[in-house]
Amino acid sequence: MQTSKIKVGIVGGTGYTGVELLRILAIHPSVELSVITSRGEAGLPVADMFPSLRGYIDLSFSDPAKSDLASCDLVFFATPNGIAMQQTRELLTAGVRIIDLAADFRIQDVATWEKWYGMTHACPELLSQAVYGLPEMNREQIKGAQLVANPGCYPTAVQLGFMPLLEAGLIDPQYLIADAKSGVSGAGRKAETHILFAEAGDNFKAYGVAGHRHLPEISQGLTNMAGKSVGLTFVPHLTPLIRGIHATLYGRLNKEADLQGLFEQRYANERFVDVLPKGAHPETRSVRGSNQCRIAVHRPQGGDTVVVLSVIDNLVKGAAGQAVQNMNIMFGFAENTGLEIVPLLP
Amino acid sequence: MQTSKIKVGIVGGTGYTGVELLRILAIHPSVELSVITSRGEAGLPVADMFPSLRGYIDLSFSDPAKSDLASCDLVFFATPNGIAMQQTRELLTAGVRIIDLAADFRIQDVATWEKWYGMTHACPELLSQAVYGLPEMNREQIKGAQLVANPGCYPTAVQLGFMPLLEAGLIDPQYLIADAKSGVSGAGRKAETHILFAEAGDNFKAYGVAGHRHLPEISQGLTNMAGKSVGLTFVPHLTPLIRGIHATLYGRLNKEADLQGLFEQRYANERFVDVLPKGAHPETRSVRGSNQCRIAVHRPQGGDTVVVLSVIDNLVKGAAGQAVQNMNIMFGFAENTGLEIVPLLP
Amino acid sequence: MQTSKIKVGIVGGTGYTGVELLRILAIHPSVELSVITSRGEAGLPVADMFPSLRGYIDLSFSDPAKSDLASCDLVFFATPNGIAMQQTRELLTAGVRIIDLAADFRIQDVATWEKWYGMTHACPELLSQAVYGLPEMNREQIKGAQLVANPGCYPTAVQLGFMPLLEAGLIDPQYLIADAKSGVSGAGRKAETHILFAEAGDNFKAYGVAGHRHLPEISQGLTNMAGKSVGLTFVPHLTPLIRGIHATLYGRLNKEADLQGLFEQRYANERFVDVLPKGAHPETRSVRGSNQCRIAVHRPQGGDTVVVLSVIDNLVKGAAGQAVQNMNIMFGFAENTGLEIVPLLP
Amino acid sequence: MQTSKIKVGIVGGTGYTGVELLRILAIHPSVELSVITSRGEAGLPVADMFPSLRGYIDLSFSDPAKSDLASCDLVFFATPNGIAMQQTRELLTAGVRIIDLAADFRIQDVATWEKWYGMTHACPELLSQAVYGLPEMNREQIKGAQLVANPGCYPTAVQLGFMPLLEAGLIDPQYLIADAKSGVSGAGRKAETHILFAEAGDNFKAYGVAGHRHLPEISQGLTNMAGKSVGLTFVPHLTPLIRGIHATLYGRLNKEADLQGLFEQRYANERFVDVLPKGAHPETRSVRGSNQCRIAVHRPQGGDTVVVLSVIDNLVKGAAGQAVQNMNIMFGFAENTGLEIVPLLP
C-alpha cells in the first residue's frame, strides 16, 4: 500500500458534492488537499461559506484559471455537467488522474449522451478509456484507471439493487421497474424555486416521468449485468429529506431461487453493501452521512414479483463517498480509508 | 334537497380522523354536532385537546357508555378497527345511519377480513348491507345506505388511479404494482416510537412489504373494476410529510388507447377527482387540507408500461372528507357541501 | 352592510402573499376578482402556477401595463417593497382604494423609511393619509381609509403581544425584548440559496441581529401604544416551518396587575385575537392557515419579568388574511367574512 | 498519556444519548466497549435496534441485574433521572469511575434537586464529590473525578454563552434572559404523543415557561461564574429539528468592553468552543453530529443590550460527546480523541 500523501485538487467546490468531498477528505490520512477552485468565490475561505468546516479546512477557493491543477496527483470534478470534459485531455496529458462526479463520462455511447445532456461532447475519444466507477462492478478496471466516471446517485442505488438478480438471470430484463425517491440535496445547491423549503417541504411528488437523465445511465449498467438489452421504467420522486435515496425495485421472477442467499453471497466481500436480514426494511437514515448501501430483498405473498429495497446517502455512496472509494482503489489505499464514518442516527 | 340540520355523533374523537371530521363539520351548514365520545378523555372540552378548534367546537368529550348516540341521525366511527362492529347492530336498529372510518365493514369476505385483522367479526351478517363508500364507484348505493364502510387512505388513492384503466380493460390485471407513499399522520395519533419526529423525520422507508391490511381491500376493489381477479403488488412507504399520499401505479398496456382522454372522460363529472393535463406531476401539497384527488397518467418513452400518479390528503379524501362526502350523498345534501376548502399551499 | 360584490385587483400575484390572497378571496362571497397582474408570467393561467387553485381561480396573470386596475374598487399590492408607491397616486386619484401588503406606507417618518429600505420614497406626501392596518389598534381609521399599509408579519405578532401591557403602562418601555421565530415562507417565494430545503431544513439560526427592517415598524407601533419612546431589542430567527411565527416577548413589570385579566379584557371583542387560559403555550400549528392570533401571558416564578407568547400564521394574520380583514372593514362587510377558516391541524 | 484501552460499560443504551455514545465510542481508539445494558431489550443485538451501527457494534443488550459493571474502568449512565444514583455508591466502592448523563448529580443543593425532580435523593452524601462536567469551567477537577455529572443540553449552550460576560462582570446578573430552542431529539426516545412527527413537525412552541428542570442547573452555574446570585428567565422552545440547540441570550451591559475580544480570548484554548467572527449568526447545522459549540456575540444598534447566540448539537456537546470529552480528560487521553467528527452539512 502507498503510504505517502497524494496531492488532490477539487474543481468546483461550492456545491453539495464539493462540500461533502471536503468533509470526507478533511480527515483522510493519505490526502493533502492542495487546491479547490470556484469561479464565483475565488478568494473566499472555504470555511466562510461552510462553517461546518471551520478548523478542518484552511484553504480558500481559487480562480480556476490560475490554479495549478497539473501538479496534483488526482483531481475531482464536482462541477455541473459539461465542465470536466473541457479540461480532461489536458490534465490526463499532464499525468493527473481524474474522477468526474458529474455525468460527462458515464455513458459510453456519444449519441445517447448528447441527446440526453443536450450538448456536444468535447472529447468523445476519451470515453473508451473512462471507467464507470461502481466498485462493486468494476473494481479491477478502476485500479488502473486514469479517468473515472463516478456514478449518479439514483444509478448507484438502482444498479446495486438489481445486480444480483440480473447477473443470475433470475428476472425478466424486459420488465424492470425502479421507483426511486430522493432527498432534496440531490437537486444540488442551486437557487431554484422548486427546491425552496416552502415548496419542497411537507410535499411529495414524482418528476421526470417522461424521461430522466439517469435512465440511460441505469439502462447501460443493467444491460451490462444482464448481458442483453433491458426494458426499464424509472420514476424518480422528490421527498422532503435532506439526504437519502430509497429505490424500490420490481422484477418478474422467471425461476425459483434463494433470493436472500443470492444477495448475501454476491455482496459478502463488499464493505459498503450491507444485505439486511430477511424481512427487513432499510431506512435512509440508517446510512445518513455514510458510504453504506443497505439492501433488502422481498417476495411479497410468495408471488413471482421480487421487490428490492435499496438505500444510500445520495451525497456519500451516491457521490462524494463513492468518489473517495474510487480514489482509494486507484491509489492502492485500503478501500475504506477515511470512509469509516458511522451513520448519524437520529 | 334536505335543508334542516341533521344530528351527528362521533365515536372516538381524539385521533386524527376525529379532529379532521371536527374541522370539516364545524362549518358544515347542515350538521348539528350533538355528541362526541372518548373513553379516555370524557369531560375534557374538545378544544382543550385541539386548540385549533377554539371558537368552533364547544362540545366536551363524553363517556361512550353514557352518550345518547341513538338519537342521532348519523354516527361516524373514528375508532380503531374492531370497535364499530360492536355497536352497529344496535344503532342500525335504532334507525341511526352509520359511517365507519375504520376497516370493520370494508371487506365483504369475512374469512379474509378475520385473517388480516386478527379478530373475529362481531356482525358478519351486516357485511352484505354495508356499502363501500367510494362515491366515484358506488354513488347510487351510498344514497340509500344505512351503513357505509369508508375506504382506507391508500385504497382511495390506488383505486381512483387504476379505475379508468381496469374498467376499460386496457391493462393486464395480473401485473399491477402500487408503490405508495404516505405522510406520517396516516399512522394515527398513537404514542409509538417509530413515528416520533426524531425517528420519522428526515427519513424514508418502506414497510409492510410482506403484506399490509390495505392489500385485500384494494384487491377487492380492483377485482370489481376488472371483473376478474387481479394480481397486485402493493408496497407502502413512510415519508416525512404530515399529510398526503402519493400513489405511483404501474400497469402493462394490452391495447392502444387515448389514456388522457380516458381519464378525463371517466372523471368529467366528479367534483373531487381532478385529472391534470398531459405530462403533469401532481404534488401532495396541491391537495393539502382538501377533499381533492389529483391524477396524472403517463406512458414513459411510449412503451407499454402506463404510470399513473395519484395524490390525496390521507386525512381528507382518504378519511374524514370522504366520510363527509358520503354523508352528503346519504342525506341528499349537495355532494360538495362543507367540502369547498381550498388546499393550503404553501 | 354592503351586499353587492366589489371588484378587486391584485398586483403581483406570484409570491406567497399573492397565492394566499387568492386562496382566501376565491371563496369570499363579496368579492369579484377581476384582475391579477404579473410582469413575468403574463398570459399564464394562475392555476397552472398554483395547482391548488384549480377549480377555484380561472383568471390568467395579466401584463401590469395593460391591466385595467382603475376600474377596481380595491387593489391589493402583493409586490416587493417599492412598487406600490409608484402607482398609488394614480390609483387613488381614480377612486381606487388600496391595501399595500409590502412596506411602502408602514412607516410615517420618511427619513427612517428611506434609511431602512435604501430607496427614495416616491410619494412621501401620501404617508400621512396612509392608515396602518392593524385592526385591533386602528379599526376606526381603517373604515374610512383610502390607503392601508398592511402590517408586516413580525410586527403583527409582536405588537399584539405587547399592546395590552404598554397601553396599561405596566412594563418599562425602555427594556423590551422580542425574540421572534419565523417559518421559511416569511422569506418569500424567491429563488435564493439560504432558503433552499437542504439549507433551511433541519436547521435553526438567528439573522439580522444587527438590524432588521421590521424593527422601526415595530418600534413605531410600540411607541404609539406606550405614548413615549421605547427601547426594543428584536432578534428574528429562521425555523424549519413552512408557516408560522412565534414571538416570545419579555418585559419588566413596574407594577402589580392581573395580567391574565388584562389580556382577556383587551381582546374580549376581537374575533381574531384569542387569549389562551393561564399557563398555556400556543403552538404555531394551532393557527395554521387561519387569521387567528393566539396569545398567552406568563410571569415565571412570580418574578418581575413578564413573558408573552404570541403566534400567528405569517401568511394569514401576518399578511393576506389581515389584508382581507382590512378590506372587510373598509367596505363594511362583516369583519370575519371569508375568514372563518378552521386551522389545519395536524 | 494512557495508551492501553479502558473497559467501558453503558447502562441504558436504548435512548438517543445511548445510541449516540455508541456512535462515538464505536471508533474511539482507546475504548473497549464491554457491556451495554437494557432492562427491556436484554438479549437483543444492539445493531438490530439501531441498524446504523451494523458492522460497528457487535454487542447485545444485557440484563442490568446480570451485567458485570464492576469490572469496568468507567460506566456511563444514559438512563432516566433517578437511576444512576441507585448504583453509584456500589460502583464507586468497586473502583469504577462514573459519568452520569442524567441529572442525578448536577445540582449540589439536595433540597433544590428534590423539589425539581420530585424524588428523594438516594445518595446525597456523594453530591459533594460529584464534579459538574463542563470542561471549559471545571477541567482540573474533572481530571481527578470519580463521579462526573454530565451537564444538560440547554445548560451547556446557555452557560458557555454567558460565561465570558459573567466572569468579567460585564452584565447585570439580575436580568439574564435565555431564550432557547431545541430539536425534538432533546425530548428523548420515548413514545409520547406530543413528540410525534405529526405533532412536532411543522410546528413551533414554547413549553415549561413556568419552570423547567434545567433552570436550577443553569442558575447554579451562572451563580458560580458571577460570584453572586443571578436572576434568570429561561424559556425553552421545541423546534422541528431532529438535533440542535440554539440559545439566544440577553444581558444588560453595565460597562464598556471589547466583547468580541473577550469571547475570543476566553475560548482561545478550547478545542470545542468556536467563537465566530463579528456579525456572524451560527446555525445549528454547522455543528450537526459534532462536539462543537459555536458562539457569536452581538450588540444591536450599539445599545446596552448584549445578545449572545450559542449553538450545539444537543446529543453531542449537549450529551454524549461532552461525556466522551470528560472521559478523555479523566483518563488522560487527548481531549479530542474520537471527537474529531466533521459536522454533517447539509
Nearest CA in chain D to B243: D198
**Chain C CB within 8 Å of residue A240 CB:** yes
Tell me which residues of B are annotated as active site: 153
Amino acid at D2: Q
Confidence of residue B13 (pLDDT cuts 50, 70, 90): confident
Task: Check if the beta carbon of residue B274 is closer than 8 Å to that of residue B119.
Answer: no
- Note whether C283 contacts B23, CB cutoff 8 Å: no
| CA distance linking residue A290 with residue A321, whole number of Å | 8
Could you count the other beta carbons within 10 Å of the beta carbon of residue A177? 23
Tell me the sheet residues that pair with D275. Answer: D295
DSSP codes of every residue in D262-324: HHHHHTTT-TTEEEPPTT---BGGGGTTSS-EEEEEE-GGG-SEEEEEEEE-TTIIIIIHHHH
Q: What is the mean pLDDT of chain B?
A: 97
Per residue in D212-248, pLDDT (tens digit) is: 999 999 999 999 999 999 999 999 999 999 999 999 9
pLDDT at A3 over 80: no
| CA distance linking residue C56 with residue C62, whole number of Å | 18
Three-state DSSP class for A324?
helix
Residue A13 has a pLDDT of: 87
Task: Check if the beta carbon of residue A297 is closer than 8 Å to that of residue A259.
Answer: yes
**Chain A CB within 8 Å of residue D283 CB:** yes
Task: Check if the beta carbon of residue A76 is closer than 8 Å to that of residue A19.
Answer: no
Residue D85, CA distances (Å) to D104, D123, D130, D292 in order: 6, 6, 11, 29
Cell of B12: 372516538
Residue A293 is classified by DSSP as E
Chains contacting chain C through 3 or more C-beta pairs under 8 A: A, B, D
Domains and their CATH numbers in chain C:
6-150+318-330 (3.40.50.720), 153-316 (3.30.360.10)
- The C-alpha of A278 sits at a distance from chain C's nearest C-alpha, in angstroms, of 32
Three-state DSSP class for A18?
helix
Q: Nearest to residue A238, comparing CAs of A343, A318, A161, A314?
A: A314
Task: Check if the beta carbon of residue C156 is closer than 8 Å to that of residue C138.
Answer: no
Nearest CA in chain D to A292: D52
- The C-alpha of B185 sits at a distance from chain D's nearest C-alpha, in angstroms, of 6
Confidence of residue C4 (pLDDT cuts 50, 70, 90): confident
Nearest CA in chain D to C209: D300
Nearest CA in chain A to C346: A202
H-helix or E-strand containing D6?
strand D6-11
D291-299: average pLDDT: 98
- Note whether D242 contacts B198, CB cutoff 8 Å: yes
- Note whether D56 contacts A342, CB cutoff 8 Å: yes
Considering only CB atoms, which chain A residues are within 8 Å of D315? 346
Residue C3 has a pLDDT of: 61
pLDDT at C2 over 80: no
pLDDT at C1 over 60: no
Confidence of residue C248 (pLDDT cuts 50, 70, 90): very high
Residue D7 has a pLDDT of: 98
**Chain B CB within 8 Å of residue A227 CB:** no
Give the rounded percent of residues in chain B with a pLDDT score beyond 90: 97
- The C-alpha of B159 sits at a distance from chain D's nearest C-alpha, in angstroms, of 26
Per residue in C131-175, pLDDT (tens digit) is: 999 999 999 999 999 999 999 999 999 999 999 999 999 999 999
Confidence of residue B233 (pLDDT cuts 50, 70, 90): very high
Lowest average pLDDT, out of A44-48, D3-7, D287-291, goes to D3-7
Amino acid at D181: K
Task: Check if the beta carbon of residue A239 is closer than 8 Å to that of residue A271.
Answer: no
Residue C219 has a pLDDT of: 98
Q: Of A19, A27, A276, which is closest to D345 when you measure between CB atoms?
A: A19
- The C-alpha of C200 sits at a distance from chain A's nearest C-alpha, in angstroms, of 6
| CA distance linking residue D195 with residue B192, whole number of Å | 10
Q: Nearest to residue A209, comparing CAs of A191, A175, A190, A234?
A: A234
Q: Is D153 a catalytic residue?
A: yes
Confidence of residue D13 (pLDDT cuts 50, 70, 90): confident
Considering only CB atoms, which chain B residues are within 8 Å of A179? 179, 248, 250
Helices (H), chain B: 16-25, 46-49, 84-93, 110-117, 135-143, 153-167, 197-200, 214-226, 259-266, 321-330
**Chain B CB within 8 Å of residue D198 CB:** yes
A199-213: average pLDDT: 96
**Chain A CB within 8 Å of residue C240 CB:** yes
Chains contacting chain D through 3 or more C-beta pairs under 8 A: A, B, C
Residue B293, CA distances (Å) to B245, B250, B258, B276, B343 in order: 10, 18, 21, 10, 11
B297-312: average pLDDT: 97
Residue C74 has a pLDDT of: 98
Considering only CB atoms, which chain A residues are within 8 Å of C49? none
List all residues of chain C from 72 to 131 with a beta carbon under 8 Å from chain B: none
Interacting residues of B115 by C-beta distance below 8 A, sequence separation 6+: none
Residue C13 has a pLDDT of: 87
B165-171: average pLDDT: 98
| CA distance linking residue D195 with residue D183, whole number of Å | 10
- Note whether D240 contacts B189, CB cutoff 8 Å: no
| CA distance linking residue D328 with residue D270, whole number of Å | 14
H-helix or E-strand containing D234?
strand D232-238
Q: Of A52, A202, A283, which is closest to D345 when you measure between CB atoms?
A: A52
**Chain C CB within 8 Å of residue B289 CB:** yes
List all residues of chain A from 4 to 23 with a beta carbon under 8 Å from chain D: 16, 19, 23
- Note whether A289 contacts D289, CB cutoff 8 Å: yes
B108-133: average pLDDT: 97
Could you count the other beta carbons within 10 Å of the beta carbon of residue B337? 17
Confidence of residue D60 (pLDDT cuts 50, 70, 90): very high
Cell of D282: 451560527
**Chain A CB within 8 Å of residue B239 CB:** yes
C292-319: average pLDDT: 97
- The C-alpha of A295 sits at a distance from chain B's nearest C-alpha, in angstroms, of 12
Crossing angle (nearest 10°) for helices A259-266 and A153-167 = 120
**Chain D CB within 8 Å of residue A346 CB:** yes
Residue B3 has a pLDDT of: 61
- The C-alpha of A63 sits at a distance from chain B's nearest C-alpha, in angstroms, of 36
Give the rounded percent of residues in chain C with a pLDDT score beyond 90: 97
Residue A331, CA distances (Å) to A8, A71, A105, B196 in order: 12, 16, 20, 44
Residue D147 has a pLDDT of: 98
| CA distance linking residue B216 with residue B235, whole number of Å | 13
A224 Cα distance to chain centroid: 18
C5-17: average pLDDT: 95
A257-273: average pLDDT: 98
H-helix or E-strand containing C138?
helix C135-144
| CA distance linking residue B76 with residue B327, whole number of Å | 9
Tell me which residues of C are annotated as active site: 153
| CA distance linking residue A141 with residue C77, whole number of Å | 62
D55-83: average pLDDT: 95
Amino acid at C303: G
| CA distance linking residue B154 with residue B159, whole number of Å | 8
pLDDT at B2 over 60: no
Per residue in B258-297, pLDDT (tens digit) is: 999 999 999 999 999 999 999 999 999 999 999 999 999 9
Cβ pairs bridging A and D (under 8 Å): 85
Quickly tell me which residue has 413596574 as its cell: C254
Considering only CB atoms, which chain A residues are within 8 Å of D55? 274, 292
Q: Of B210, B234, B242, which is closest to A202 when you measure between CB atoms?
A: B242
Considering only CB atoms, which chain A residues are within 8 Å of C199? 189, 197
Nearest CA in chain B to C285: B52
Residue D3 has a pLDDT of: 61
| CA distance linking residue A247 with residue A244, whole number of Å | 10
Per residue in D268-286, pLDDT (tens digit) is: 999 999 999 999 999 999 9
- Note whether C197 contacts A202, CB cutoff 8 Å: no
Handedness of CA D156, D158, D160, D166 (dihedral sign): negative
pLDDT at A312 over 80: yes
| CA distance linking residue D44 with residue A69, whole number of Å | 52
Q: Of D50, D282, D292, which is closest to A345 when you measure between CB atoms?
A: D50
Nearest CA in chain A to D286: A52
